[in-house]
Structure 1
Amino acid sequence: EGVRLTEAEGGVMNFRWMPDGKEIIYLTKEQPSVEKKKEKERKKKEKFDSYVVGEEKYRNQLWKVNIESKKAAKTFNGDYGLSQFEVSPDGKRVAYVTNYSGDPNDGKKRDIWILNLENGETDQLTDFPGAEGDVSWSPDGKQLCYQKGIDPEFSPSETDLYIIPAYGGSPRNLTTKLDLSVGRYRWLPDGEELILSCSQGVYSHLYTLSLKKEKVKPLTEGDRYYSQFDLSRDGKQLVYILEDSHSFPQIWTATPDNRNPKPITELNKNFQEFTVAPQEVIRWKSTDGWTIEGILIKPLGYQEEQRYPLIVMVHGGPAGRMVNTLTGSRNAQLFAAQGYAVFLPNFRGSSGYDNRFVASNIKDIGRGDYRDIMSGVDYLIERGIADPDRLGVMGGSYGGYMTNWIISQTDRFKAAVSMYGIFNLITDFSNSNIPYWEKQYLGDYYWEKVDLYLEHSPFSYVGNIRTPVLIMHGDADSNTFISNSVEMYTALKLLKATYEFVRYPREGHGISREPNHIRDRFQRQLRWFNKYILGEEESQKKGIEEKKMN
């Protein structure tokens, strides 16, 4: 049975074992003094509690707790932006990453520092343009690896893996020959090799990296998605989560060279009783000749030479991606079970390909990606799968932006669902907790080129919207602020368009905190598509009304 070790008022944000196993070092938020707390409570009680935005700031601190005595003591006063940290193998130093301010808008600048646990002194290890992160000590404690984006000014750029001496020196890029973005990585005990994961189109795979040869070799292959891997302390066993397009994620073990792989979990056994809609990776040519990849989920009971209603699901980011797994797309299989074909495009700007591709919609959002999506829809119509008269589109975050953009540019879609999407780029910039997003993708601030923001904002074309649209947004969304959807709702109401605006209390970005909200979200989406794509009569005839769903 678990035993509580800490009483941290600021909560535990992250933690690591000390090498001797007797203590745990953890990251927590600095707390105001007792006097300040009392003063704040008094002002709140008297309703004299105005405050200056940004004035009250608290550091992220490192504390240690003894496993046996449960006594905790502050180890390092930290700073406002301290986030990830790792303890050296000898337990004498901590490497930590900070952006100094703690402001998520300052994500393009992060450095690595070394804290000496014996004397409390700190030394800066990196001070380069861009953001270093995901730092890890070599087994002998003499070197560190870290990740860094190719383009320091574009945070979604593909990431490389670097190595640097622990006491300072010049870093070396270990993955210059690998045209994929490096994700998670782990050292092998000999310190000569690492295992790393890379996004690869609609899949993710594991690779081995030799430090001496700087050579990367694939460790896994096939139409599978490998994630969350790790190594045992002695390095003799590899463990990872494995999933594909027809089964749920399971934990597998293997040797470090991935021999003798076997599952050690068998979760959701009763799922075998259900029929899964077939998923297919598809590729098509966009209007400018680029090859674009995506996933088609055919409806249950699919029959050749029959056309089906199609729902286009647009991912967020735009540097997100759709993956060919059973759980990789929100509710796609549920829509397929109700007779819809579902199309998941990885349009330009998606991650998982190369850096040119992920950066290709800079200063072009809503243009090239729009053409990629629409050419994919046309491809499915040409194949005889999609019914051109029964099309729907949906997406969240940047996918919500693209949904808003698509229905302001064409009336080909019979229904749309816009979830926590951008409607007005100036509004989004002014209210989001990461306003640097607009600067990265548009290249300028709105006061420098206001026409650029207007040209790429769906609100400039709201008068063109003829598609019935369901708008969904969480009240507590600090990323894509709800004012975007309020503006869209207000305009559509005055235009006497067909719309519905649903707000979710307490929900942040994603509308995914509360189970009842998640269920409500899907049921409303299904009703909306059934009504405006299939028509009420056909919806009832096919038995897919909400009563049937319940």
Structure 2
Amino acid sequence: MRVKKFAVALFFLCGSLCGQAQKSKPPITLDEFMNSTEVRMARIAPDGQAAVIWTSSPDWQHDRFRDDLWLWRQKTGTTVQLTQSGYDSAPAWSPDGKYIAFISSRALADEDSEAKDDDKEGTERVWLIAVAGGEAFPLYTEKLDAHALAWSADGSRIFFSVQQPLTKAQEDARKEEWKDVIRWREQERGDTLLAIPVQDAIAEAQKIPGPKASAKKEKEDEESPLPKLAKVLTKNDREISEIAAAPQQIAFETESVSHRMEGPAASEIFLVSTNGGDAKQLTHNQAVESGLRWGPDGKQLYFNVRAAAGSLDGKYQDVQGRLYVIDPASGKVGRLGADFKGSLEEYTLGSDGTVIAEGMTGTQQQLYKIEESKAEALSGVAGSYSGIDAAKQGHKLVVLHSTINDPMQAFVSDSPDQLEQAKAVTNFNPIFRERAQPEWTTYKWKSDDGTEVEGVLIYPPGKKDAKHLRMFTLIHGGPADADGNHFGADWYDWATLAATNGWLVFRPNYRGSSGYGDEFMLQIEPHLVSVPGKDILAGVDALVKDGIADPNHLTIGGYSYGGYMTNWLITQTTRFKAAVTGAGAVEHAANWGNDDETYDDAWYLGGLPWEKPELYQSEAALFQFDKVKTPTHIVGGNADVRVSFLEDILMERAFQQINVPHTFLAFPGEGHGLDKNPWHGYIKVREELKWLDKYVNQ
């Protein structure tokens, strides 16, 4: 990372020469921008001598995204593709570093082509691959989706969770009685935690079953739907979403089977012996725990509660990310890094038990060493760190890093104290260095009540000092998130592409955003859109007053909660010439009933719909739609349950009634994340850019 630090210093020294260099580079195109590879995860080998990297990239020919695993070795200094199927994710190292387990929905080798097509993206099994070489093989062949996996402490077994399966007889009986009728809630089944001996699975995978063996297997399948090598450790009436194994016991986190957050009680930590038995519920709180990790001695369990995932301290509230450690024997919980004023996100444990966490403060996300209540900043470089993972032996770690103009890469550091000398082990998306890059700065203003708010301004290449620019206010989702010095290049985060297309992009971190303290974050409740809406409009006014933004060429947009805010703001002002919105609610009662985070919605609005009807109405855009004059482009996935697709339909109908120019794109089969077909995201951004240009240039 020293090279990056030098590059930043050089930028400030070169002045106008750098601006000229930027102008000489061609702008990035829509095709290049949307073709980027996302680095999703990096995990370092136990001895620190290798790392596995999970990436996701568009496969335009097959209308899907492909997920691949890559392997970096210190010995060779190279990173090579480890898997080829395009369906591989969530890698986990064996304790001895000889194998990598991962989740894959690839087809089995002995299936015919028709069956393979049916099985792809249908059954997410646990697979293994030897780091020394060879083909990957499934841990089991039954059609059981794995929800989570973990290696045993000694590497002899793999623990994984699947939905409690039905025997063939039970499944046939169910179909006979109920046909295609869905018994809402009644038919939901929790998970089973299973263990499979690794060496037995390897031996089984190397065998070629003959006719007699196949017949025997068919008979066994009728008797039990579970893999024949699997041992049932425990069952739970919820889904098991995360597993962490110590030598003598296993911790696991649960979530709602339906994936609908109707209350925080569905998300708790349980303990079970590695030999199996009844699980003991370890936590009882109002938070959604995650990031389970055992300490080096296997006696203390660490976990985090991410931003806007509730709180361990009393009633549910959306506060910043926090870290905790619990003594399973006594149940005593201690908070770590409590003095840190920002949001603590992902974390890792060093071989000596040192806790290193990602801390978001304002527009930067850096690494911190956590000791009891204190958080000591490690010496890194500007930008955003994420996905940190420390080796079990020695002091090495792998971490992801990016800036607005530097695509995310995986870096390996010899120790936490040597982050500035970390070595890049990936080189994805080099095209961004070959194209003109936008310049950016932070921007601060006062809201209507005097609260200081911060955001980011991203300028068109070479126009940092220009005035009266046409401006696009792009609002982040969450709301518990923050825009800052990190890379984005996809259908959701396309600010730099908008800048390249001549827009000054304003990214406000309104109240409700994380990284600015709990008080700042909590002020959004119960005024879900009106308080942050005033923050955003005050920022737009300040930029106009400062002569930076042209008041006659203002536009606005956002997705998810950014869509909520866009929908609200076009009912509050007619200053925006055009708007682009996606997956944003226009009312809150039906959305509370239809989306998958109902409990969170009720907290933001101070209660249930029948408890706070006045807030559900006053904070909804729909009931002020007669004020809307802004031409608006709407998008949504027709399988979205995070923000119900019905909200998009409702909004389009309202536009139709008031006769304001609008258009509506519905993406078939897509949920909230638009992660099924890359063409959907491509068309989304293409048409949004056209819409903004069309109305701002009239």
Normalised by the size of structure 1, how large is the TM-score? 0.91
- Give matches, 1:315-334, under 5 Å: 315-327=476-488, 330-334=493-497
Separation in structure 1 between the aligned mates of residue 596 and residue 332 of structure 2, nearest angstrom:
34
Instruction: Give secondary structure in 2 for the equivalent of 1:104.
Output: coil
Number of the residue aligned with 1:244? 403
Distance 1:279 1:154, change over 3 A: farther
Residue 433 of structure 2 is matched in structure 1 by: 272
RCO (CA 8 Å, sep 6+): is it higher in 1 or 2? 2
Distance change (3 Å), C-alpha of 1:177 and 1:418: same
In the other structure, the counterpart of 1:453 is 616
The CA RMSD over aligned residues, in Å, is 2.1
Tell me which of 63, 68, 92 is aligned to 2:194.
63
Kindly provide the CA deviation profile for residues 523-547 of structure 1, in whole angstroms up to 9, marking residues without a partner as x. Answer: 1101111111123xxxxxxxxxxxx
Query: CA shift at 1:443, angstroms?
Result: 0.8
| Alignment-derived partner of residue 167 in structure 1 | 329
Alignment partner of 1:471 is 2:471: no
Identify the residue that residue 258 of structure 1 maps to in structure 2.
417
2:297 to 123, 140, 148: 140
Q: Distance in 2 between matches of 1:183 and 1:326?
A: 17
CA distance in 2, matches of 1:272, 1:488: 40
Task: Rate the CA distance shift 1:272–1:167 in 2: closer, same or farther, 3 A.
Answer: same
Q: Is 1:310 the equivalent of 2:471?
A: yes
Equivalence map 1:8-19=2 (5 Å): 8-19=142-153
Among 534, 540, 544, the residue aligned to 1:377: 540
- Over residues 133-188 of structure 1, what are the superposed CA-to-partner deviations in whole Å (9 max), with x where a residue is unaligned? 43321111122222343655345312332222231242222222222222222222
Which of 104, 108, 114 lines up with 2:260 in the alignment?
Answer: 104
Distance in 2 (alpha carbons) for counterparts of 1:359 and 1:150: 15
**Does structure 1 retain, via aligned residues, the 8 Å contact 2:163–2:239?**
no
Q: Distance in 2 between matches of 1:511 and 1:21?
A: 37
Classify 1:69/1:204 alpha carbon distance in 2 versus 1 (closer, same or farther; 3 Å).
same
Change (3 A) 1:2 1:197: same
| 8 A Cα contact 2:396 2:412, kept in partner | yes
The percentage of counterpart residues that share the same residue type is 28
- Which residue in the other structure is 2:375 paired with? 216
Letter in 1 for 2:342: L
* Counterpart residue identity of residue 188, structure 2: K
Q: Summarize the Cα distance change of 1:350–1:182 in structure 2 as closer, same or farther, 3 Å threshold.
A: same
The one of 446, 454, 467 equivalent to 1:293 is 454
Match of 1:545 in 2: none
Compare 498-507 and 125-134 and name the one that shifted more. Answer: 125-134
Structure 2 vs 1, CA of residues 94 and 229 (structure 1 numbering), >3 Å: closer, same or farther? same
SS of residue matched to 1:258: helix
Q: How far did 1:382 drift?
A: 2.3
Q: 1:429 to 1:119 in 2, by over 3 A?
A: closer
CA contact (8 A) 1:292 1:347 kept: yes
Q: Deviation string for 1:480-539 (max 9, x for gaps)?
A: 11111111111211221211111111111133431110111011101111111123xxxx
- Number of the residue aligned with 2:243: 85
Q: Is residue 423 from structure 1 mapped to residue 580 from structure 2 by the alignment?
A: no
Distance 1:361 1:462 in 2: 22
Question: Does the 8 A contact of 1:276 with 1:300 survive in 2?
Answer: yes
**1:195 positional shift:** 1.1
Aligned AA (1:256): S
Contact conserved, 1:63 with 1:75, CA < 8 A, in 2? Answer: yes
1:154-193 correspondence runs (5 A): 154-191=316-353, 193=354
Between the aligned partners of 1:264 and 1:169, the Cα distance in structure 2 is 41
Structure 1 CA distance for aligned equivalents of residues 626 and 313 of structure 2: 38
Q: Distance in 1 between matches of 2:256 and 2:689?
A: 45
Change in 2 beyond 3 A, CA 1:303/1:220: closer
* Aligned residue in 1 for 2:315: 153
What does the per-residue CA deviation read over 1:67-119, in whole Å, with 9 as the maximum and x for residues that have no partner?
Answer: 2332333322233143222000x2x2101223576653245233322101225
Partner of 1:539: none
User: SS at 2:693's partner residue?
Assistant: helix
Closer, same or farther: CA 527–301 of 1 in aligned 2, 3 Å: same
Structure 2 letter corresponding to 1:18: S
Whether the aligned pair in 2 keeps the contact of 1:125 and 1:168 (CA below 8 Å) is no
Q: 1:14 and 1:267 mapped to 2: Cα distance? A: 28
TM-score, normalisation: structure 2: 0.72
- Which residue identity is paired with 1:17? W
Listed one character per residue, the Cα deviations across residues 391-411 of structure 1 (whole Å, up to 9, x for unaligned) are: 111111111111010001100
Q: How far apart are the structure 1 equivalents of 2:437 and 2:365?
A: 22
In structure 2, stretches of 5+ residues that fail to align are 1-134, 202-228, 306-310
Q: Distance in 2 between matches of 1:289 and 1:251?
A: 41
Q: Which of residues 154, 161, 165 in structure 2 aligns to 1:27?
A: 161
Contact 2:560/2:584 (8 A) holds in 1 = yes
- Report the equivalent of 2:98: none
Q: Tell me if the contact between 2:638 and 2:670 (Cα under 8 Å) persists in the aligned partners.
A: yes
1:400-415, aligned counterparts within 5 Å? 400-415=563-578
Aligned residue identity for 2:169? E
Look up the match of 2:512: 349
CA distance in 2, matches of 1:184, 1:305: 38
What is the 5 A alignment of 1:485-496?
485-496=648-659
Question: Does the C-alpha gap of structure 1 residues 313 and 270 become closer, same or farther in structure 2, counting only changes over 3 Å?
Answer: closer
Describe the SS at the equivalent of 2:159. Answer: strand
1:527 is aligned, of 674, 682, 690, to 690
Per-residue displacement from partner, 1:319-348 (whole Å, max 9, x unpaired)? 122122231761111111111111111000
The AA in structure 1 aligned to 2:551 is P
- Corresponding residue of 1:120: 277
**Cα displacement string for residues 203-258 of structure 1 (whole angstroms, at most 9, x for unaligned residues):** 211111235xx432111445210010111120320210111122111111113333
Query: Which of the residues 444, 452, 461 maps onto 2:607?
Result: 444
For residues 488-507 of structure 1, the aligned pairs below 5 Å read 488-507=651-670
More displaced stretch, 318-327 vs 493-502: 318-327
Could you tell me whether the CA contact under 8 Å between 1:238 and 1:258 is conserved in 2? no
Aligned-partner SS, 1:467: coil
Give the letter for the 1:319 counterpart.
A
Aligned AA for 1:309?
R
Please state how far the C-alpha of 1:304 moved relative to its aligned partner: 3.7
Q: Which secondary structure state, in structure 1, belongs to the residue aligned with residue 261 of structure 2?
A: helix
SS of equivalent residue, structure 1 residue 26 = strand
- Quote the Cα distance in structure 2 between the aligned partners of 1:54 and 1:466: 43
* Closer, same or farther: CA 132–242 of 1 in aligned 2, 3 Å: closer
